[in-house]
Structure 1
Amino acid sequence: MPIVVTEDLLRAVVTKDKALSDGRTLVKKGSLKNLKATQDRSLLWGECQGSGASPYILSIDLGGDHPTIRCTCPVKPPPCKHTLGLLVAFMEQPTAFATAEAPAELMEKRSKNLERAEKKVEVAAKPRTVNKAALEKKVAAQRAALGLLETLVIDIASAGLGTLDGAKAATLVDQARQLTDAYLPGAAEALRRLASLAPRPAQGAEEERFYQLEEPGHDLPDELRYRLMTRHITRLWAMVRKGQKALDEKLAEGGGDADTDAVVEDLLGHVWDLAALKAQGAVRQNLRLFELADERYRDAVRDERVEQGFLLDLDQGGILVDRKFRPLVALDKIKEKDSYERPITIAEAGIYPGFVNRRVRWEIAALTSRPADPADFAAIHAAARPTLEAAIATYKEQIRNPLAPDDAVVLLHAADIRAAGKNLALIDQKGAALVLCDSPLARYRTTNTLAMAAGAELVNGALRQPASLLVRLFLGLEDDAIAGCAHPTIHHVPTFG
């Protein structure tokens, strides 16, 4: 069945809003000519007169999981305004496309695309045939790198965190590159995060290597910074121990718990794609989601812009995360992650291994949306955790694993929001309280905004109900107490009522 061309699809494929606007203009001006489509409407082609003597030749194949877009204009990568105009024209004026036999050249390209897609699925689905020699070579490199990491961790712990100055941190950054070269990018990133917490080095060679390596918490008082560094050391040590165990099991061709192995491999740098997730059975059909929050920030350690949306699973109630990493050097070449103002349904979605907030991923054509209605907001409130006890228990289970993230985003019912010294407190229906404050590691400050929002929702001195709040749970550095910070919610979802 061909991909249906909708506004959702246009939004998913467009990389620059101006290109889509210009494409709509081309349609209004009648610039698209000789529009044709196959009988099943899965292949479109046509022409558009550009600035040259000959028109540009356009084609769009709607027969796969995502559109294959081609144009002879010089704009790369696609889509250009001409092909976006072709999609708009087909969506708005399908009868303008005459039915015709597809050109042989396009059918040949489709056949090659289909062969590649089928091969990819086949490779992911069939039992892996292991090249023992290659595996042993790779595992040997990884074990040697983990041995290096083990030595580094022991040396740092033995010398004391106070001795980790800028010069030593710059050396750790260099050693992190060795981990990357040994197929352990996840461990390399973790080591760079530790190095980034060292005091800033003086001007010189070390400063040059250390340039712009910055992590939230690097400017904390020494006592708190050392506590944070201890957490990083603990995570690195767990990577060493669990990574070595996972590598031994890999050589022995299995023997460990599948979920645990997946999490360890993920943190050691394993890259998942949709085909691999499908092969693992980690998929959901007709997944109904409502995005509650969206955040974007620069991650200096990864040298990337992180863009992620937190989506409520309307059927199972959990909070999934739609995450995208864009290298800072290529921001103008990679499409920004979409944010969704309407409820969305994903025909088939892959769910990554992980903890409370699992990552979700899907093909472009799998998404459809619809207007929100009052029932959706009722469903959001119904999905909120009624008591703190269950949410805290789930978070505690996560942080028992030293490889797990330090935070978790949950949706909580708020019977009340009260002042608690300089902070706020969320009160659940049983009277239990969760301190709400700005984490010293937070990239956003939200407590003052929440205080104003909660005050605006008071009715006769009580918080208007129903009231739900998206909260990021975290472990305090000063006392290891669990607290929460209100997550910045996107404009279409009311925090209260």
Structure 2
Amino acid sequence: MNAVTEAYIDSLALNAAAMKNGRDLAKKNSFPKLCRSEDETLLFGECKGSGKEPYRCSADFVKPESPVFRCSCPSRQFPCKHILGLLYAYAVGSAFQTEDIPEDIADKRDKAVKREEKKKEAIAGDDTPPVAKKTNKSALVKKISAQMEGIELLDKLLLQIVQTGLGGIDAKMARMLEDQAKQLGNHYVPGVQAAFREFLLLFQGDGEREAIYTEAIDKLTSLQTLVKRGRSYLTARKENPDTPLATDSAIEEWLGHAWQLSELRESGLLVRDAELLQLAFHSYGDDARSEYVDEGYWLELASGKVYANRNYRPYRAVKHMKEEDTLHPVVKAKEALVYPGDANPRLRWEDPVFREPEERDFAAIRGHARRAYAEVIKQVKDQMKNPLSDKHPVVLLHVKEIVKQGEAYALEDGQGKRIALGDIKRLQQPSVQLLPLLKKAYLKEQAMLVMFEHDLGTGQLLAQPLTLITEQERIRLLY
């Protein structure tokens, strides 16, 4: 059970509070009994609780890729703080006495084995190929019709805005438009609704009007493109319901489709035997969607591709959902599923295995860093020109030198081409101010992960530094 590290346990916890509570239990010696099986596939023990009887908890690793956690406490959080405390106690080297596997757990293991055997026997005895899931065409056409009505509603709202003029949109009118936009929630287009709400939120702040208008025009362009492409796409699907979901663009995600992992797998959108290392992580609130977003950027060590990984937690359910956090180990996944997207498509995996990063991993990362800035800038600008593309691509760059231009900083490549550094609006958290704190040795011949943004006010392309990758470590500039 070498994989039971503190980082692994952190990844299991629902949120930071659960991590803290679990660690506190381990530190305060709240476990009068700590045991492990002789083969170390089972950890179990007793934890002091508020009642007379202690809580009995266990972590069963008989199948390491899908461990089973059990606890007698009534907590809704899972794994609860008692299970986390048991695991933390093991990870920090607390004394565990060797005992036989408890009878109740042994019985549960036997039942699980029998269920698996029955499944295998059923599969072995059935030579008929699996039947593909049939689409309920009438229900699908009905849903598409409702989505098309939502697109037409958005078109009417945009026309109303254009006729009124941006100068006529004050906070009161923005609230009135938002009330109308709530109707979009009845048309199975949550992505469309969120995009329109993001536009309306611009007028509910106290920002400079000229800056607001500049950004509003950019978002109006995206919304009008969404109307045009969404209408065309949905019309084609309604005429032929057998048309597969689009996987060459993010149009389905814009319309609000929640991709199932089985759909991605069937479409061939996966990376087999992936090894991924997280290079950057941050959390933020998305008021347009009423969700917290835990966002990480990962590099696949073999290909050098930079992927995004996002965990969404609705504001109203945040207490009951797992909060992601910074992860330091390399994640090994037999199968990583890739969502349709642009430069940094979203990635998900199940049943990961962890290992500590090694120097060879950092060497691989640095070897994948892009060296020709002119080519990078062209690709970034081309992506930004597409109204429905991600306007904030993340790129791993080779840094010949971090240079200072007056009071500003820039990255320079081997040909003398420079990329200006700056704190961008998208992240709402500064990191450039940390550059003067870096050792001089870190200012040359390194790799850096950056996020790009087009400053609509100045017309300048900026990159905000996220992480510096040296030969032996990641120096995270953003948390």
Q: Which category describes the TM-score, using the shorter chain as reference length? A: 0.7 to 0.9
**1:211-226 correspondence to structure 2 within 5 Å:** 219=207, 221-226=208-213
> How far does residue 224 in structure 1 lie from its aligned partner after superposition?
2.5
Contact persistence 2:422–2:432 (CA under 8 A) = yes
Structure 2 residue aligned with 1:265:
252
**What is the one-letter code of the residue matched to 1:482?**
L
Structure 2 residue aligned with 1:127:
132
Q: Distance in 1 between matches of 2:111 and 2:329?
A: 38
**What is the one-letter code of the residue matched to 1:79?**
P
Contact persistence 2:60–2:68 (CA under 8 A) = yes
Structure 2 spans left out of the alignment, 5+ residues: 120-129
From 314, 321, 343, give the equivalent of 2:308. Answer: 321
Pairing 1:198–2:203 present = yes
Q: Distance in 2 between matches of 1:439 and 1:29?
A: 48
Structure 2 residue aligned with 1:232:
219
Q: Distance in 2 between matches of 1:426 and 1:73?
A: 54
Against the structure 1 CA distance between its residues 377 and 48, is the aligned structure 2 distance closer, same or farther, given a 3 Å change threshold? Answer: closer
TM-score by length of 2: 0.82
Contact persistence 1:185–1:269 (CA under 8 A) = yes
Residue aligned with 1:467, SS: strand
Pairing 1:457–2:444 present = no
Query: 1:197-251: per-residue Cα shift (whole Å, max 9, x none)?
Result: 1154xxxxxxxxxxxxxxxxx62x3232212111111111122122122222322
From 31, 34, 37, give the equivalent of 2:33. Answer: 31
**What is the one-letter code of the residue matched to 2:225?**
A
**What is the one-letter code of the residue matched to 1:76?**
R
**1:133-212 correspondence to structure 2 within 5 Å:** 133-200=138-205
Structure 2 residue aligned with 1:335:
322
Pairing 1:423–2:408 present = yes
- Residue correspondences, number: 457
Query: 1:136-176: per-residue Cα shift (whole Å, max 9, x none)?
Result: 22112111111000111122123322122212211222233
Against the structure 1 CA distance between its residues 178 and 489, is the aligned structure 2 distance closer, same or farther, given a 3 Å change threshold? Answer: farther
Query: Structure 1 vs Structure 2: percent identity of aligned residues?
Result: 30
Which is worse superposed, 53-62 or 174-183? 53-62
Contact persistence 1:357–1:409 (CA under 8 A) = yes
Structure 2 residue aligned with 1:96:
99
Q: Distance in 2 between matches of 1:127 and 1:148?
A: 35
> How far does residue 356 in structure 1 lie from its aligned partner after superposition?
1.0
Against the structure 1 CA distance between its residues 420 and 222, is the aligned structure 2 distance closer, same or farther, given a 3 Å change threshold? Answer: farther
Structure 2 residue aligned with 1:447:
432
Q: Distance in 1 between matches of 2:312 and 2:110?
A: 34
Structure 2 residue aligned with 1:370:
356
Structure 2 residue aligned with 1:121:
none
Q: Distance in 1 between matches of 2:194 and 2:283?
A: 19
> How far does residue 187 in structure 1 lie from its aligned partner after superposition?
0.6
**What is the one-letter code of the residue matched to 2:165?**
G
From 345, 348, 358, give the equivalent of 2:332. Answer: 345
Which is worse superposed, 300-309 or 3-12? 3-12
Which is worse superposed, 232-241 or 173-182? 173-182
Query: 1:90-147: per-residue Cα shift (whole Å, max 9, x none)?
Result: 887595343868565676688889999xxxxxxxx96341212211221121111110
Against the structure 1 CA distance between its residues 412 and 383, is the aligned structure 2 distance closer, same or farther, given a 3 Å change threshold? Answer: same
**1:398-417 correspondence to structure 2 within 5 Å:** 398-417=383-402
Residue aligned with 1:284, SS: strand
Q: Distance in 2 between matches of 1:273 and 1:380?
A: 30
**1:108-119 correspondence to structure 2 within 5 Å:** none
> How far does residue 12 in structure 1 lie from its aligned partner after superposition?
2.5
Against the structure 1 CA distance between its residues 133 and 473, is the aligned structure 2 distance closer, same or farther, given a 3 Å change threshold? Answer: same
Query: 1:31-69: per-residue Cα shift (whole Å, max 9, x none)?
Result: 257x779x9x87887766755455645455654964343
Q: Distance in 1 between matches of 2:348 and 2:118?
A: 23
> How far does residue 395 in structure 1 lie from its aligned partner after superposition?
1.6
Query: 1:239-286: per-residue Cα shift (whole Å, max 9, x none)?
Result: 2122122222322135578323x5111111111243332232222223
Structure 2 residue aligned with 1:388:
373
Q: Distance in 2 between matches of 1:423 and 1:482?
A: 14
Against the structure 1 CA distance between its residues 65 and 127, is the aligned structure 2 distance closer, same or farther, given a 3 Å change threshold? Answer: farther
Residue aligned with 2:11, SS: helix
Against the structure 1 CA distance between its residues 163 and 382, is the aligned structure 2 distance closer, same or farther, given a 3 Å change threshold? Answer: same
Structure 1 spans left out of the alignment, 5+ residues: 117-124, 201-217
Contact persistence 1:294–1:490 (CA under 8 A) = no
Structure 1 residue aligned with 2:69:
69
TM-score by length of 1: 0.79
Against the structure 1 CA distance between its residues 126 and 432, is the aligned structure 2 distance closer, same or farther, given a 3 Å change threshold? Answer: farther
Structure 2 residue aligned with 1:12:
11
**What is the one-letter code of the residue matched to 1:73?**
C
